[in-house]
């Protein structure tokens, strides 16, 4: 059939084709279109005017933020922004360019920000009604704001594995904040804080639990927010793990957004689509439910700054305030650190009585759950207050049913909430305190007059008498000087170590003549004793008496006294004092009533699986502190059940640093003689290689297997040769997929198989013969706590030795 189209009409159609391909609607934005940062600049709108992209004016009226916001909702709600860390000056320009997409430049044409994509030529861009700004080529999307989220997730937007939301610094400060919401590669969605200076990621304070250890393909692979407000982690088997179970049922009649706020709270909020301008966003769900009572693990200050107190507002957002006697270090940072308004500490209080200087402010339902350096139990509330008032190191005492906890600065994670059953007693200066008059100093002029008289008398005497008097004065001055030097050295030692000094007679009385023996260690015997804490109270102690005083032992003793006094952690045994008199050298530790872990594990009654795992995690925390948080670092060198003690609540405390070796800040290993106990000693002790903190990791791996199995590392009475060496047997069981055999008929452990396998694999990583394969104690702790995924340990040939490089 002949064509009926006019040739000119055909040519016209051909001219229109590129325009049809490059543009989907009249509202699309073409290259060379731009917006200038001014007070009345018009944004680019979505087709239904739901969303806008343009310049948001900051508190400094001459600075602007390139952002996307809800256009129809009053009180502008920003859901995406480009240049939070680098505000744009007035008259800056955002332009859609053909080669780079969106480009933001300052008035001088210098680049501030641009949309990054690999290759392609821009045909047009669109501000969608979903809130997604998309830059297109002729055939595909080159860049999307949904793929580059900031602090907000919108309906239909997805976070894949490795993706994250990052909080802003403050409500109206869009620079990078301290909190992140991430979907980890293992499938867990987590909330964590970071160190802004180094970007170091702290331990997560919320974990979704969507990692499937038995079948990793069913772990979480996306975080999604649907149009009806359903907020969830989507698993590989298409099952969902809801994050949005709240007071409101999902509904398509609302706008929804999930925002990671500057205070670390992830909030799912709703706003009715058909309403007047007076309505505000409503909170559907917050994660965590109460951030003030959330455990932020070991590092960072939590949602509020150090030394501050967190209280929860009705909208489940935190409010931070400084305690009485404290104020903000930076008045512009209401969520920042607090500092005392008065001088405090041992040096500041040296000339005055604590009762004269301080009063205690009682704070009901208040706690700082970390920073404790001493626990007193049993203890009355009045005794708790008195102990803190008398201790120049104590800043606050926290009292609850578990006893009295003395704490020192800085104080992280302060919280005040009805869920908190503790009472805090904060030590602050008295308002009307007047410093005592200092001791009267000798008058220099009077001394000079006395000296003139003395010289006159000497000149009037005989030469012999003069020489005699001068000699006596010189000798007397020498002895007085030596006595002063000796006293100053002793006082300096006591002040530096903050320990109580005991003479030998006091130690003999305290131990009733060294009558009751608690145990024997590598360097001496430990005796039970009792010392007076004041005129009315006594406390039990464990006295370690060094029985072989040789040069190396002297060195270790001095190491313990000078360093252990500076180590304060809830999973370390506290050193209370020492004796250093003639050949007698002793260390005085707190006495822990439940004895050693060895007695607990290998006794007639098998401890519960939950108790054992908590003890293992506690030991890991203590070692992590010694390796990474002490200055200088400490290698324990003799980790074994006999050196782990249990307090009244069966919390693990690492003891006996008599074999410890210290590392300077510029060292990572040390060369030394073999130390430790057979069965727990790392292979590198027997090689001519440097010894590092990894020797403790190896010993911990052996100990962890003992905790899991409730049996000793070497047991010749088990009846089967292949089970006599625990480390070998554990490797065999893991290879054969039979880790159940390690806990025998322990129903509690078998019902918690994911944790069982995680703990076993962590232990096998620790006992790797190759030092480079062994993780740090920090990583081991994260494995045990389930923060990071534990991969299968490496294996070699089955013919090689069983060090779990099998």
Known catalytic residues are 638
DSSP 72-84: SSSS--EEEES-T
Evaluated on CA atoms 165, 171, 176, 177, the torsion sign reads: negative
Which residues touch 399 (CB under 8 Å, ≥6 apart)?
Answer: 379, 381, 384, 385, 405, 422, 423, 424, 425
- Looking at residue 357, the DSSP 8-state letter turns out to be H
Which DSSP category does 125 fall into?
E
Count the helix, strand and coil residues of the chain and give each as a percent rounded to the nearest 5: 25, 30, 45
* Cα 473 from chain centroid (whole Å): 61
Token reading at 294: 């959330």
Give the C-alpha distances (Å, rounded to integers) separating 351 from 239, 357, 440, 516, 758: 68, 10, 13, 40, 55
**Which residues are annotated as part of the binding site for ATP?**
545
Here the tokens at position 343 are: 């001088």
CA neighbor of 268 nearest in space, from 250, 241, 252, 292? 250
What's the Cα-to-Cα distance from 561 to each of 225, 497, 676, rounded to whole Å? Answer: 57, 7, 20
What Rg value do the Cα atoms of the chain yield, rounded? 35
Q: How many helices (H) and strands (E) are present in the chain, helices listed first?
A: 14, 48
Q: Is 635 left (phi over 0), alpha (psi -120 to 50) or beta?
A: beta
The CA distance from 518 to 509, in Å, is 17
Structure tokens at 775: 């993780």
Which helix or strand (DSSP H or E) is residue 474 part of? Answer: helix 463-497
**Cα distance between residue 462 and residue 476, in whole Å:** 21
Collect all residues with Cβ–Cβ distance below 8 Å to 415 and sequence separation of at least 6.
Answer: 292, 293, 309, 310, 311, 366, 367, 368, 369
Which residues are CB-neighbours of 46 under 8 A, at least 6 positions away? 27, 52, 71, 127, 128, 129, 131
Q: Cα(298)–Cα(281) distance, rounded to whole angstroms?
A: 34
Query: What letter would DSSP give residue 805?
Result: -
Q: Is residue 504 within a helix (H) or strand (E), and if so which, with residue range?
A: helix 504-510
Pick from 233, 234, 275: nearest CA to 254 = 275
As annotated, the binding site includes 545
Q: Which residues pair with 173 in a beta bridge?
A: 170
Q: What does the alpha-carbon distance between residue 399 and residue 508 come to, in Å, rounded to a whole number?
A: 34
3-state secondary structure of 463: helix
Q: Are 73 and 65 in contact (CB under 8 A)?
A: no
In the structure encoding, which two tokens stand for residue 459, read together? 């000149």
Q: Determine the longest span between alpha carbons in the chain, in angstroms.
A: 151
């Amino acid at each position: 059939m002949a064509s009926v189209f006019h040739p000119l009409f055909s040519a016209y159609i051909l001219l229109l084709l590129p325009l049809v391909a490059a543009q989907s609607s009249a509202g699309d934005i073409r290259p060379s279109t731009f917006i200038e940062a001014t007070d009345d600049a018009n944004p680019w709108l979505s087709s239904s005017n739901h969303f806008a992209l343009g310049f948001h004016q900051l508190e400094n009226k001459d600075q602007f933020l390139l952002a996307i916001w809800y256009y129809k909702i009053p009180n502008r709600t920003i859901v995406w922004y480009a240049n939070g860390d680098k505000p744009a000056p007035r008259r800056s320009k955002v332009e859609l360019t053909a080669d780079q997409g969106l480009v933001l430049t300052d008035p001088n044409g210098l680049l501030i920000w641009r949309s990054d994509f690999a290759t392609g030529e821009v045909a047009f861009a669109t501000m969608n009604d979903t809130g997604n700004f998309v830059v297109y080529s002729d055939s595909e999307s080159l860049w999307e704001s949904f793929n580059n989220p900031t602090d907000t997730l919108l309906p239909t937007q997805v976070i894949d594995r490795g993706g994250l939301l990052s909080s802003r610094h403050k409500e109206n400060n869009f620079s990078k904040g301290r909190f992140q919401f991430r979907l980890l590669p293992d499938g867990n969605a987590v909330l964590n804080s970071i160190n802004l200076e180094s970007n170091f990621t702290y331990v997560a304070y919320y974990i979704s639990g969507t990692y499937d250890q038995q079948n990793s393909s069913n772990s979480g692979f996306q975080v999604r927010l649907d149009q009806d407000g359903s907020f969830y982690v989507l698993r590989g088997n298409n099952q969902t793990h809801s994050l949005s179970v709240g007071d409101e049922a999902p509904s398509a009649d609302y706008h929804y957004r999930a925002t990671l706020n500057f205070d670390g709270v992830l909030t799912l909020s709703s706003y009715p689509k058909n309403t007047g301008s007076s309505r505000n966003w409503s909170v559907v769900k917050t994660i965590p439910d109460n951030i003030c009572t959330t455990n932020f693990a070991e590092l960072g200050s939590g949602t509020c700054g150090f030394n501050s107190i967190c209280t929860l507002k009705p909208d489940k957002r935190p409010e931070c305030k400084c305690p009485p006697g404290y104020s903000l270090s930076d008045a512009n940072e209401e969520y920042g650190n607090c500092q005392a308004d008065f001088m405090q500490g041992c040096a500041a209080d040296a000339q005055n009585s604590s009762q004269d200087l301080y009063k205690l402010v009682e704070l009901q339902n208040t706690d700082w759950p970390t920073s404790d350096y001493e626990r007193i139990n049993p203890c009355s509330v009045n005794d708790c207050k008195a102990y803190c008032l008398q201790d120049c190191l104590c800043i606050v005492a926290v009292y609850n049913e578990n006893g009295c906890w003395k704490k020192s600065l800085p104080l992280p994670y302060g919280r005040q909430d009805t869920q908190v059953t503790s009472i805090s007693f904060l030590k602050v200066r008295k308002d009307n305190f007047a410093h005592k008059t200092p001791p009267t100093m000798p008058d220099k002029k009077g001394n000079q007059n006395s000296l003139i008289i003395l010289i006159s008398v000497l000149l009037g005497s005989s030469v012999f008498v003069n020489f005699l008097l001068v000699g006596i004065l010189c000798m007397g001055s020498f002895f007085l000087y030596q006595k002063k030097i000796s006293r100053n050295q002793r006082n300096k030692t006591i002040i530096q170590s903050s320990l109580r000094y005991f003479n030998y007679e006091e130690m003999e009385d305290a131990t009733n003549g060294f009558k009751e023996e608690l145990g024997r260690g590598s360097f001496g015997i430990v005796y039970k004793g009792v010392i007076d804490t004041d005129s009315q109270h006594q406390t039990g102690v464990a006295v370690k008496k060094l029985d072989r005083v040789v040069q190396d032992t002297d060195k270790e003793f001095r190491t313990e006294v000078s360093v252990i006094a500076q180590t304060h952690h809830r999973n370390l045994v506290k050193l209370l004092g020492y004796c250093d008199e003639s050949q007698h050298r002793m260390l005085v530790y707190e006495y822990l009533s439940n004895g050693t872990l060895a007695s607990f594990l290998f006794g007639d009654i098998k401890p519960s699986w939950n108790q054992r795992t908590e003890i293992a995690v506690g030991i890991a925390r203590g070692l992590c502190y010694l390796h990474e948080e002490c200055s200088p670092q400490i290698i324990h060198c003799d980790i074994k059940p006999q050196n782990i003690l249990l307090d009244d609540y069966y919390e693990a405390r690492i003891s006996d640093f008599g074999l410890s070796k210290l590392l300077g800040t510029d060292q990572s290993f040390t060369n030394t003689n073999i130390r430790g106990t057979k069965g727990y000693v790392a292979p590198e002790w027997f090689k001519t290689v440097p010894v590092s903190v990894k020797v403790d990791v190896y010993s911990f791996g052996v100990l962890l297997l003992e905790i899991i199995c409730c049996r000793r590392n070497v047991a010749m009475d088990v009846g089967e040769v292949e089970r006599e060496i625990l480390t070998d047997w554990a490797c065999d069981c893991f290879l054969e997929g039979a880790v159940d055999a390690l806990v025998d008929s322990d129903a509690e452990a078998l019902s918690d198989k994911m944790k069982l396998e995680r703990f076993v694999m962590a232990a096998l990583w620790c006992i790797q013969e190759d030092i480079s394969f062994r993780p740090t104690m920090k990583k081991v702790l994260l494995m045990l706590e389930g923060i990071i995924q534990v991969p299968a340990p490496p294996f070699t040939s089955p013919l090689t030795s069983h060090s779990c490089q099998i």
